[in-house]
Structure 1
Amino acid sequence: MPDEIRTTTLELTGEIDISTVESVRMTLLRAVTAHPHRIIVNMAAVSFIDSTGLGALIAAFQRARDAHIDFTLAEPSPQVRQILILSGLLEVVPITP
């Protein structure tokens, strides 16, 4: 199976907060359940993330790790990257520029 078939890329957009986090959780859960080799969560279009959104990313990362799926965050905007740094999430979850 070619590698690109085994990679799932998710494009998150807008604000990830208490009002949108359930949809994000379900999207992440579906991606992990499909059991690809790699999940890339593109955050270029995310303008804000709060603690509930961070929790959803952590939970998805942990499920992916337990299933031996590579999980990477990609292209967060400068303001979202700052939140990820302050939360300590980047010490655990890989990120690409």
Structure 2
Amino acid sequence: MTEENGTTTLTLDGEIDILTVERVRVALGEAVEARPRRIVVDMSGVSFIDSTGLGALISGFQRARDSGIGFSLSHPSTQVRQVLVLSGLLEVVPVTP
């Protein structure tokens, strides 16, 4: 996790599934508690995400929104982006290419 100019960037990598999701939840919680202006979740290193990972992202987004913190995803792979689209998450969470 890095912080610069009021933006906290959380870099995720590998697979986000039932075995790793708790680390993602904790990291997102810590990012929200730090109260930056914006949280960016860098997904460029994520090779797979399942429903538990989607749930963690949704929860992080909701917590950030409720705290008045901007939240976005960045650089998902084509495979991960497809899962995000199918889940409907990209209808509420902004994503950068």
Q: TM-score, normalised by structure 2?
A: 0.95
User: Is residue 78 from structure 1 mapped to residue 78 from structure 2 by the alignment?
Assistant: yes
Distance 2:11 2:49 in 1: 14
Distance 1:93 1:54 in 2: 12
For residues 46-85 of structure 1, the C-alpha deviation after alignment (integer angstroms, 9 at most, x for no partner) is 0000000000000000000000000000000000000000
Gaps of 5+ in 1: none
Shift of 1:14: 0.2
Determine helix, strand or coil for the equivalent of 1:18.
Answer: coil
Gaps of 5+ in 2: none
Shift of 1:5: 2.8
Q: TM-score, normalised by structure 1?
A: 0.95
Determine helix, strand or coil for the equivalent of 2:39.
Answer: strand
Determine helix, strand or coil for the equivalent of 2:56.
Answer: helix
User: Is residue 93 from structure 1 mapped to residue 93 from structure 2 by the alignment?
Assistant: yes
Q: CA RMSD in A?
A: 0.6
Identity in percent? 69
Distance 1:75 1:34 in 2: 23
Aligned pairs for 1:1-97 (under 5 A) are 4-97=4-97
Pairs aligned (count): 94
Instruction: Please identify which structure carries the higher helix content.
Output: 1
Shift of 1:33: 0.5
Runs of 4+ aligned residues of structure 1 deviating over 2 Å after TM superposition are none
Distance 2:21 2:11 in 1: 14
